Amino acid sequence: MKLIGLLLAVTSAALGGEYAILTSGARLYAERHERDGSKIRLFSKTGHTEIDAEQVVHFEMEEYVPPASVPARAPLPVAEPKAEMPADMQVLIAQAADNHGLPREFVQSVVAAESAYKTDAVSSKGAIGLMQLMPGTARELGADPRDPQQNVDAGTRYLRELLVKYGHHPELALAAYNAGPGAVDRYRGIPPYRETRTYVQRVLKKYNNLKKN
């Protein structure tokens, strides 16, 4: 009985996939994890990775929606964001879009979906500012996520990098911006997550509406 109790104490197996959220803001995918003292092992189909437990803030279950129930091209009913863009925001977005060679309407659509143009927006996962940059991503981009200009510029630069990575397919770039490139690569397309698919549809709908005006 003691042996069984010990195994239960050091083992935490997740049903399905999960993400380890690190102190750096990074998200590591694993099929399951086990904790042994000060170490945590993240298991995948090809093996496992061991990291210090103090590096992990918490775990998030992977939201999985079977592909058969949500076809890749199926339209989703999405409510159009009602937020109005402040005049000074238009200048920041225009500068960032022009600097990185993206359509202004595309960048505006991402900002609207991410934060509804709120410079002080902070998500439950720790994403910051207008383009909801995770602290770790902001550091990699050399930006202060709480500075609106740096936030929009860094987020736009990251969007361009994702567009280049995925052959200028906006659906894949947006999915990677929302769920991470690892998820897009793993599923070889838009991940079957309800949140991500809704996000992609919302941004593209906003973008198409802006281009008409």
185, exposed or middle or buried, with CB in 10 Å at 0-12, 13-18, 19+?
middle
Q: Is 106 helix (H, G, I), strand (E, B) or coil?
A: helix
Q: Is 171 helix (H, G, I), strand (E, B) or coil?
A: helix
- At residue 31, what is the residue type? E
DSSP string, 38-103: TEEEEEETTEEEEEEGGGEEEEEE-----GGGS-TT-----PPP-PPPPHHHHHHHHHHHHHTT--
Catalytic residue annotation: 114
